[in-house]
Structure 1
Amino acid sequence: MLTHPMPDPIAFQIGPLAVHWYGLMYMLAFILFLVVGRIRLKQAHIAAAGWRYADLEDMLFYGVLGVVLGGRLGEVLFYHPMYYAHNPLEIFAVWKGGMSFHGGFLGVLLALFLWSKKAKRNVLDVYDLIAPLVPLGYACGRIGNFINAELWGRVADPSLPWAMIWPNVDQLPRHPSPIYQALVDGVLAFILLWIYARKARPRLAVGAMYVLMYGCARFFTEYFREPDWVVNVLGWDISAGQVLSIPMILFGIGALYFSYKFDKKAAPTNVAKPKQKHAQ
């Protein structure tokens, strides 16, 4: 079996300033947003819509605020409300980890809604533009969780080649669930969504597809992660992450249906109607 390396969460220190690996992973996520975003801007249907690199930089500023504030509030409210109620100062200790994706997701939606009003852009077009840029950033966050030795997995079969002991938890073999989520919810979701978004789609379709794919991927990978809390529905235990992913799945399905049914781009408009032949 493997053993978690338990690295020092501080990457380096300059005098009193300590730079944490978790923060570096978020910085990498923001850099990837701009790098991959520059490539996305070159896609024909994106360039035709008049998007500029300056728009991405501006959106990143709003997005960072949404991620940090929403992610932290989501962690506090969705996962450990009682702990933070008794330790309120810990709410501000973001360098220790503990950022909820679902809270960050809502925070980004709100932040970009505000940006769209300022830029006089349709907010749905904004969501479609940035959706393929999100999964790799999520993967960076999960790698940060792994370095911090948090979000450990459920107990695994000792014969599993990558079963891992987390010394900060116990001596039982566990799934390295942050790595699973980085690969499945992050890298795999990015590849599939990037392929889907390379062509022009109906308004909201790309954003809805990401919400659906992430919800499904997260629901699956949660089976390998030690749950923060569990609810029992008809004899079926559902973890916190799965509970929060169900609305995303339902919304993604509904938004995709709405997008293809009601957006005019969904149906070809330049196809000539066949001429009707009259019976002789």
Structure 2
Amino acid sequence: MSNTPHAARRPFESNWAARIGWLLLAAYVVYAGSRLGFTWERFVVGLDHGGRLLSRMFPPTFERWQLLVDGIVESLQIAVIATFFGVILSLPIGFLAARNLMPPWVTWPTRLFIALCRSFHPIIVAILFVKAIGFGALAGVMALIVGSIGFISKLFAEAIEEISLKQVEAVRATGAGFLGILIMGVQPQVLPRFIGFSTYQLDSNLRNSTMVGIVGGGGIGATLFTAYQRFDYDFVLAILIVIVAIIMLAEIVSGWARKVFQ
């Protein structure tokens, strides 16, 4: 063993490329903020306006509870219908997008369609449907169906691509056809994850049903937007409280459903 002293090595080597990258990112953030008009004075003024807005919201009023209940019920209906049809349509699309089960000439167009569904926020899609079929819950349902297909189909296809092909080959060895392979070889492996995807999408659609309502897609979002326009900020706070309560309840129910069905 050599007794030649060696220079002490630093436990963490300097990564100058990463440091320069972070500095460039910080410089760009400052530059972008200046271009967008972000100033400290504007922030302080905004805090003052926000404080006055909050003061006008308290105390919340639930006098128009019937209008509030109607909006919440419609939002629930929009979310449930959109999730149901979104899940039903996502099943075959997810299978067609799985690269371990389908040839490339099938998977690539299907994945392009999924990417198209994922490219736009539900609000943008809702605006398009409102222009196409008019105001109301139907436009909101159609927009959320498109969003559900984009989300569930992608995750479902990825879940299928991660399955063990040994079980698939075992079912195929029995002489089963393609449908039998899907039912006996693929479905048992992906069903728990698919249930988790579906319950999460229901929770997400419940939140998004509020946003699409703001642009004319029906539900409690339309009631919220009308209250803002009429400066009924105490009623706005009541709507927000109910929305938060519904979302929290939906989170509890979805968590229970995942434990029961998985």
| TM-score between both structures, scaled by the size of structure 2 | 0.31
Which structure would you say has the larger RCO, counting Cα contacts within 8 Å and 6 or more residues apart? 2
Tell me which protein shows more strand as a share of its residues. Answer: 1
Q: Which has the larger radius of gyration?
A: 2
Tell me which protein shows more helix as a share of its residues. Answer: 2
